[in-house]
Structure 1
Amino acid sequence: MATVIQARIPVDQFALTETFQSCPDVIFECERIVESSQTSVMPLIRIWASDTPRQTLEAALSDDPSVAEYTLIADYEDEWLYRMEWTRHIQLILTMLTNAEAIIRNVYGTSSGWSLQILFPTRDELTVTYEFCGEHDLSFDVVLIRDFDNDQFDSRYTLTHEQYEALMRGFEHGYFAVPRDITAEELADDLKISHQALSERFRRAHAALIEDTLVGRPIRRPR
């Protein structure tokens, strides 16, 4: 069975070490991720900064050995979107993931480290990754691990069809409105399940969404 993990990698073993040293407040999020066998795995990067002006950021990017080239796509004052081309400096990590036939699902970076959510075809490929890290003295700290269920309705999230149906039906009928337009008992009847089953389905769905969308994300602090 496929396996999804959330892993942490130190900044100095991946990318943008010098940029983080010059601009410690910046947060990087990969806006678009392609399969790790491609030349540019993280071509679009969204960047936030609470104190660093864009000119300072771009000066740091220009001096960073992990960056081959960058192009500003959009400017929203303290938030920017860049097209990035990376150097071979970060190829060791990418080689590790390519060898394991892994798919990078999301990536976030701060001065404290990089957080990656990665899908491995099986646990065996995850084992290959551990062995690769040991052979090359790489730090690869897995903070979350779970099986990827084939019944999930969308490959980006770990919701099952039943959890997705419960959430969407609840939303459509106003269960999440304030005040509610439908009670839990009425919603359970509509889904033809017990109140207890609905409660458990919601808890599991909420936990899955939190892991998929919040765990590993850095906290953005306004100016």
Structure 2
Amino acid sequence: MSVIVEITVPSTAFELGQILRVEPPTEVTLETMVPLGGRPTPFVRIRNDARESFERTVRDHPSVDEIRLVNTHDDETLYALDWEPSEASLLRRILDLDAVVLGATGTADAWEFELRFPTHEALSAFQDYYVDEDIEVSVARIYNPTKPDAGPWYGLTSPQRETLAAAVDAGYYSLPREISTQELADSFDISDQAVTERLRRGIATLVRNTLLVDEEES
């Protein structure tokens, strides 16, 4: 049975947080993880006004081979990070346990992760790991998305939940559509690409954690 955990980790306490350092009040969002060449490739999004210092800081880290600009849209830039995580890194351990990063957002001080582990045993192994490595992890909540008392979010991050709820309330999914993608994005002060990505990932998460749960367990 899968289990979802929401945690907070100090930015300086794990390797990726040290690499993706930002200055307040900038936030960096981990959009997705793609296994390329046998190692995890993070795709991260950041505001354009923080690009110069962010790129310089990332390139200076010894484990980074390259940071590649994927695209720029409005006030945000998407990067792909080519790096070699250490065997004991937090992110590598998460992936080795077949966990899925449902959402991750970092600031100068801390990163918030939402992780889905395939079993409670995998989550326990992850907890043993960060205790043994003396990584300060704060657990906000742990829940099984298939249980009635798991809460209404079913693995959605706060931005995904808020955007999906606003889209439905405003008639984004009505026929005819009552609000445009740009208007919805403006209400959150983000780009239309970012709001589309939130909706896409949010819907995918809802389906994965509800309609596909029985299929995965079988």
- Normalised by the length of structure 2, the TM-score is 0.60
Task: Detail structure 1 runs of 4+ shifted over 4 Å in the superposition.
Answer: 35-38, 155-158, 170-174
Cα distance in 2 for partners of 1:126, 1:35 equals 21
Kindly provide the amino acid, as one letter, of the partner of residue 104 in structure 2: V
Structure 2 residues not aligned, in runs of 5+: 149-153, 158-163, 179-201, 207-218
Instruction: State how 1:47-86 maps to structure 2 within 5 Å.
Output: 47-48=46-47, 52=50, 54-76=51-73, 78-86=75-83
Say what the alpha-carbon RMSD is for the aligned residues.
Answer: 4.0
Partner of 1:181: none
| 8 Å contact kept, 1:36–1:97 | no
Per the alignment, do residues 16 and 97 of structure 1 end up closer, same or farther by CA in structure 2, a change over 3 Å counting?
A: closer
Asked if 1:148 corresponds to 2:149, the answer is no
Report which of the two structures shows the higher radius of gyration computed on alpha carbons. 1
The one-character-per-residue Cα deviations of 1:114-141 (angstroms, maximum 9, x if unpaired) are: 1111111122211111111121112222
| 8 Å contact kept, 2:41–2:81 | no
| 8 Å contact kept, 1:108–1:116 | yes
Cα distance in 2 for partners of 1:74, 1:7 equals 29
Per the alignment, do residues 156 and 79 of structure 1 end up closer, same or farther by CA in structure 2, a change over 3 Å counting?
A: same
Structure 1 residues not aligned, in runs of 5+: 159-163, 178-208, 214-223
Q: How many residues align?
A: 165
Partner of 1:20: 21
Asked if 1:40 corresponds to 2:37, the answer is no
| 8 Å contact kept, 1:16–1:67 | no
Asked if 1:139 corresponds to 2:136, the answer is yes
Cα distance in 1 for partners of 2:35, 2:95 equals 8
Cα distance in 2 for partners of 1:134, 1:36 equals 29
Cα distance in 2 for partners of 1:92, 1:48 equals 26
Asked if 1:104 corresponds to 2:101, the answer is yes
Cα distance in 1 for partners of 2:104, 2:29 equals 6
Per the alignment, do residues 100 and 19 of structure 1 end up closer, same or farther by CA in structure 2, a change over 3 Å counting?
A: closer
Per the alignment, do residues 2 and 125 of structure 1 end up closer, same or farther by CA in structure 2, a change over 3 Å counting?
A: same
Kindly provide the amino acid, as one letter, of the partner of residue 10 in structure 1: P
SS in 1 for 2:53: helix
The one-character-per-residue Cα deviations of 1:161-200 (angstroms, maximum 9, x if unpaired) are: xxx9xx97x96789xx9xxxxxxxxxxxxxxxxxxxxxxx
SS in 2 for 1:149: coil
Instruction: State how 1:173-184 maps to structure 2 within 5 Å.
Output: none
SS in 2 for 1:88: coil
| 8 Å contact kept, 1:36–1:102 | no
Distance apart, 1:65 and its partner CA? 3.3
Cα distance in 1 for partners of 2:8, 2:142 equals 12
Distance apart, 1:6 and its partner CA? 1.0
